[in-house]
Amino acid sequence: MSQVIRISALLMSSALLMVAGGMHGLILPVRGAAEGFSLLALGLIGTGWSVGFITGSIAVPKLVQRVGHIRAYAVMAAIACMTILVNLIFIHDWAWIVLRVFSGFCFAGAAMVVESWLNEVSDNRSRGTTFSIYVSVTLFATTAGQMAISVTGVAGYIPFVLAAIAYIGAVLPTAITRTPQPVPLQSASFDIGLLFRTSPIAVMTAFSVGMANGAFGTLAPVYGLERGFSTATIAYVMSLAIVAGAIAQIPLGRLSDIIDRRAVIMGVAVTGAVAGLLMMVFNPGENVFLYIFFGLYGLAAYSMYAIAVAHANDFAQDGEFAKIASGMLLFLGAGSMAGPILAALIMGMAGPVSLFIVTALFHGGLALAAFLRMRVREATPADERAPFQPMPAERTVTAETVAFDPRADEIEFDPDAMQEGDQSSSEQTGSDTPAHKQEVQ
């Protein structure tokens, strides 16, 4: 509880940011479809977010080095607030595509600042708890933002203004906090060759998840609108998918600590493919089957990436976690950029329900790849695996999330050597700075 109180201001800022992001991400596709935007334009809006998010993850650390965390966070929140208000002023497809790049950039920068800050105030003993609290806050805040749309709808100016208030309100807790500012942010360090050598199936999972979930997150609301669903129903089923995936991470992750993680990936990929096929076959209306299929999809689709990160980490050598996890972000982002465009083109040719052709194909292909890899390479023994950790939603994972992850500190993996490791790292650094930060730097 003392740790929660210590970081409460940062968690409040993060919660407000996620509320705004949840609202913003649902307003644009639903309102855009209602305004008559083409499916391709709506897909490009999703691609714009991914482009901006990846660019922000790379560029924002340089801004923080120049002006500091508080000023950089204020800049990100202010531009995000301005962006959604300009969305309201210029309701045009190409304007929204460009503006979505800015919102993705700012969201990535703001998230990185908060995560870096939380990482700085956590020590080796509390980092796992702090990380779990942060994941929970992002989940509930994003869900709250989406559920707010079920009340406000997307017509008129009120949802845009409320999201703008949440964006700018996120500045206040960090502006008045007494928590010391952390060291400068770290840019993502990519080593694609190392990632492929370490775990090819992790690369395939990251890309497939990016393709499927990028398409689903952007265009599933459009599918709902084309089917005549109410805005409230769209908000409910989208929130259900995210919550189901977040809840499923824990039991599936713990199961992957016991059996071959690739078997778990194969199982959830098959489940995701089946959910997509069921949606295509039954194409349900606003009834219980819609909620069952969306919940089943979310359970599978939004739990795979965290398991893939854990699997890649099982084969990583000391000090390689940050490079491998950052490399996976690159493939996740590439899939998130391409997925909405591919799905939009297919939906334009075969109808709204064909969105689930894209998700089923990539989930089915991933299940096959996991099965083949199990026949090529032995699994890491259970007692030699790094423990599974839940992760935030894929669209909000940055290089600072990687540094914040407790698995970035290898000392956590060896309880018998923890005391010795803490002492040696303290002697080497001459400070209380966690060893993993020295490695990332």
Identify the CATH number of the domain in which residue 277 sits: 1.20.1250.20
- Please give the pLDDT value at position 363: 97
Question: Is 412 contained in some domain?
Answer: no
Sign of the torsion angle spanned by Cα atoms 175, 397, 330, 81: negative
Give the number of domains in the chain. Answer: 2
Question: Is 410 contained in some domain?
Answer: no
Task: With CA atoms as reference, report the closest residue to 402 among 345, 441, 428, 440.
Answer: 440
Question: Is 429 contained in some domain?
Answer: no
- Please give the pLDDT value at position 76: 92
21: which DSSP letter?
A: H
How many CB atoms are located within 10 Å of the residue 287 CB? 9
Final residue before a domain boundary, out of 382, 397, 412: 397
* Domain co-membership, 179 together with 199: no
Kindly indicate the confidence band of residue 125, based on its pLDDT and cuts at 50, 70 and 90.
Answer: confident
Question: Is 441 contained in some domain?
Answer: no
Residue pair 199/311 in contact by the 8 Å Cβ criterion:
yes
- Please give the pLDDT value at position 424: 39
Task: With CA atoms as reference, report the closest residue to 43 among 349, 341, 337.
Answer: 341
Kindly indicate the confidence band of residue 435, based on its pLDDT and cuts at 50, 70 and 90.
Answer: very low
Kindly indicate the confidence band of residue 32, based on its pLDDT and cuts at 50, 70 and 90.
Answer: very high
Question: Is 315 contained in some domain?
Answer: yes
- Tokens found for residue 25: 């991400």
Residue pair 374/359 in contact by the 8 Å Cβ criterion:
no
Strands (E) located in 148-299:
none
* Domain co-membership, 114 together with 62: yes
- Please give the pLDDT value at position 19: 95
- Please give the pLDDT value at position 267: 96
Question: Is 198 contained in some domain?
Answer: yes
Taking the CA atoms of residue 439, residue 406, residue 403 and residue 141 in that order, the dihedral angle to the nearest 10 degrees is: -170
* Domain co-membership, 179 together with 214: no
Residues of the chain above pLDDT 90, percent: 52
This prediction has a pTM of: 0.85
Question: Is 404 contained in some domain?
Answer: no
Q: Is the predicted pLDDT of residue 139 greater than 50, yes or no?
A: yes
* Domain co-membership, 110 together with 199: no
- Please give the pLDDT value at position 414: 40
* Domain co-membership, 89 together with 216: no
Q: Pick the residue with more confidence: 194 or 336? A: 336
Question: Is 131 contained in some domain?
Answer: yes
* Domain co-membership, 100 together with 210: no
* Domain co-membership, 165 together with 230: no
Instruction: Indicate the range of 48-57, 192-201, 282-291, 420-429 predicted with least confidence.
Output: 420-429
Kindly indicate the confidence band of residue 113, based on its pLDDT and cuts at 50, 70 and 90.
Answer: confident
pLDDT, average across residues 11-38: 94
Q: Pick the residue with more confidence: 439 or 292? A: 292
- Tokens found for residue 250: 């824990």
pLDDT, average across residues 20-34: 95
- Domain encompassing residue 260: 193-397
Residue pair 441/186 in contact by the 8 Å Cβ criterion:
yes
90: which DSSP letter?
A: -
Residue pair 201/373 in contact by the 8 Å Cβ criterion:
yes
Instruction: Indicate the range of 53-67, 257-271, 330-344 predicted with least confidence.
Output: 53-67
Residue pair 271/322 in contact by the 8 Å Cβ criterion:
no
Cβ neighbors of 86 (< 8 A, separation 6 or more) are 95, 99
Instruction: Write out pLDDT tens, residues 178-195.
Output: 766 666 665 556 667 777
pLDDT, average across residues 414-438: 38
Mean pLDDT of the chain: 84
* Domain co-membership, 148 together with 211: no
Q: Pick the residue with more confidence: 37 or 2? A: 37
302: which DSSP letter?
A: T
* Domain co-membership, 306 together with 177: no
Q: Is the predicted pLDDT of residue 9 greater than 60, yes or no?
A: yes
Q: What is the DSSP track for 374-397?
A: HHHSPPPPGGGSPPP-----GGG-
* Domain co-membership, 171 together with 204: no
* Domain co-membership, 126 together with 228: no
Q: Is the predicted pLDDT of residue 283 greater than 70, yes or no?
A: yes
- Please give the pLDDT value at position 318: 66
* Domain co-membership, 235 together with 267: yes
- Please give the pLDDT value at position 173: 87
**Radius of gyration over every alpha carbon of the chain, rounded to an integer in angstroms:** 21
